[in-house]
Chains A and B, each alone.
Chain A
């Protein structure tokens, strides 16, 4: 079965510092991986996805993610964090065998302090 894991419930960084939000995956076949961000009482906003191609994927709001097949990871990164980046981040994998539903990690709360 497809799954993703976000090992950190919370990540704290200072504004201006680089940030990393971790995600590892377990899939059979080629992984279709996604990152989403959620602000309080709102739906999910798409950040980026990996389907195929370059391992470094660039997305919205200056975020990027690196697909690492050998480590089965898809960590989200940003070179310089902003206070406004503080939110809940979800990694997800598409389940190709179940109608294309997304399977989400447990989420990581990012807190960026001034």
Chain B
């Protein structure tokens, strides 16, 4: 079945530094990638939607200059948290949708970001 590889699974960084999270679709082409943020035992909050080769669409209240999303190819999308602060600590999850859609969404395994 469809697999999305998300790396790193966890990362600790210092305040003010930037962190990049990668999501790769291993056996299908992900025309659309969704990036979510999740707080402990809470629901997933959609941050942005990206389509290959075009700019990401950010949800209201999400700072696009802080959360940089790149979807340069059909198999790779990245989320960069710039100038991270402790309040950015969270669980980040990507979800890919294929060209054929098939109403299937494949999720990455998530990245636990801790900013100290």
Spell out A's residues near B (CB within 8 Å).
32, 34, 36, 41-46, 49, 51, 88, 90, 94, 98-107, 109
Contacts and interface: CB of A to CB of B under 8 A. Distances in A.
Interface of B: 4, 6, 32, 34, 41-44, 46, 49, 51, 57, 91, 93, 95, 97, 101, 103-110, 112
Contacts, number: 55
B43 A106 contact: yes
B103 A49 contact: yes
Contacts of B95: 44, 102
A43 B6 CA distance: 9
A63 B107 CA distance: 19
Contacts of A88: 41
Nearest to B97: A100
Interface of B is mostly: strand
Given A43-B6, A43-B93, 18 more contacts: A32-B103, A36-B107, A42-B109, A42-B110, A43-B109, A44-B44, A44-B95, A45-B107, A46-B106, A49-B103, A94-B103, A99-B57, A101-B46, A102-B46, A102-B95, A104-B43, A104-B44, A105-B43
